[in-house]
Amino acid sequence: MADETQPIAENPAPTPEDGQVMGNVASSDVQDVAVGHDGAERILNQDEIDSLLGFDMSDEESAERSGIRAIINSALVSYERLPMLEIVFDRLVRLMTTSLRNFTSDNVEVSLDNISSIRFGDYLNSIPLPAILSVFRAEELNNYGLLTVDSNLIYSIVDVLLGGRRGTAAMRIEGRPYTTIERVLVQRMVEVVLADAKEAFEPLTPVSFTLDRLETNPRFAAIARPANAAILVKLRIDMEDRGGRIELLLPYATLEPIRKMLLQQFMGEKFGRDNIWESHLATELWTTQTEVRAVLDEQQISLKRVLNLKVGDTLMLNATPDSLIELRAGTIPLTRGRMGRRNSHIAVRVEAPLTPHARQAVQRLT
């Protein structure tokens, strides 16, 4: 009986069938594994390919943690490692709600939609156009950030500030660039948002955000390399039946100088530090009495000589009436002075400032 199993060629050509993909097998050992019971080659179906690459559309969250996609995204730093950011942005939402109500004289509600980590290049490619991109500078951090205002919010702000009727949707005209009036009104709103961002960061660290320029083309708003990681904050602004989105993008390079502060679990983290006891302890230390010794001279002698000392023996000191003596508090040298007499008491006049060791000891105590 002839063997029905067909031999496998050394370099078989791929034969896709029904949307499936066949891969070439290089090793002869792997070829044996790839051959099924009926002699056919192992063919990966679409689900297995998606699982391998990490692009499973059915479960997006699990897909980001598996396959090649997980390796690619492993360089991104999660914003959850910086817990103080969420507190800062919650404070920004509260401040914007008040300031935008004063700015528009309308009922404005600001909500925080999402905080995520993203690559800068991916974000630029995902911006829905038309939009106005505001490039601002963080002065103390010596870097830039990006504030994007979508078209819905632009037309809504223009409609509200110029006296549009309530209850009617903002008119949206496509196919034309933004006018000077629209750009100026959006610029004023961006300046209000940046002032609130400065106040939101104030309890953490003083940061001044200044508007650098307005752009309508994402290519001209490149403030970082496409592969650099950034924090993306999406804010939703609702004005009754109108509104839109503001997206705030901060590269990790901008936040790096204050990274230690952003690692705190809560604002002003001090781990049990009590200012009341600190002040009380400092007050008591300043009134504490300490023993100060005036050392005329020091000598090293043998133990045998010390043991043979008798009453009436004399030790000669290498000190004259004009020699400087050392004042000590325990083992810490404080300063130097000269010995003299005041009335019926022996006195020491200080001739030098406190030593660095004494200053450090006082600073540690206070």
Q: Domain coordinates of the chain in residue numbers? A: 28-73, 79-262, 275-299+322-365
SS3 80: helix
Q: Tokens 């979508």 correspond to what residue? A: 150
Q: Determine what percent of the chain falls in helix, strand and coil, rounding each to the nearest 5.
A: 35, 25, 40
pLDDT of 62 above 80: no
110, 236 in Cβ contact below 8 A?
A: yes
Nearest to 133 by CA among 245, 276, 271: 245
Q: Which residues contact 222 (CB under 8 A, 6 or more apart)?
A: 120, 124
> Taking all residues of the chain, what is their mean pLDDT, rounded to a whole number?
77
pLDDT of 210 above 60: yes
pLDDT of 188 above 90: yes
Helix 151-161 and helix 180-201, axial crossing angle in degrees, nearest 10: 100
Q: Which residues contact 105 (CB under 8 A, 6 or more apart)?
A: none
Please tell me the predicted confidence (pLDDT) of residue 52: 66
Terminal C-alpha separation, the chain: 100
SS3 82: coil
What fold characterizes domain 79-262?
Chemotaxis protein chec (3.40.1550)
pLDDT-based confidence at 364, cuts 50/70/90? low
Please tell me the predicted confidence (pLDDT) of residue 18: 44
What fold characterizes domain 275-299+322-365?
Surface presentation of antigens (SPOA) (2.30.330)
pLDDT of 231 above 60: yes
For 118-165, what is each residue's pLDDT tens digit? 889 889 988 888 889 999 999 888 899 999 999 889 988 888 888 876
Task: Answer whether the bond into residue 130 is a cis peptide, omega within 30°.
Answer: yes
CA distance 133 to 148: 5
pLDDT-based confidence at 40, cuts 50/70/90? low
pLDDT of 227 above 70: yes
- Tell me the percentage of the chain whose pLDDT exceeds 70: 72
Please tell me the predicted confidence (pLDDT) of residue 193: 94
pLDDT of 24 above 50: no
More confident residue, 341 or 30: 341
Least confident of 15-29, 86-100, 270-284, 340-354: 15-29
Greatest C-alpha distance within the chain:
132
pLDDT, average across residues 18-47: 51
pLDDT-based confidence at 97, cuts 50/70/90? very high
pLDDT of 76 above 90: no
Please tell me the predicted confidence (pLDDT) of residue 72: 56
pLDDT of 60 above 60: no
- Tell me the percentage of the chain whose pLDDT exceeds 90: 18
Please tell me the predicted confidence (pLDDT) of residue 328: 86
pLDDT of 236 above 90: yes
For 249-303, what is each residue's pLDDT tens digit? 999 888 888 888 887 766 554 444 567 877 888 888 888 888 888 888 888 889 9
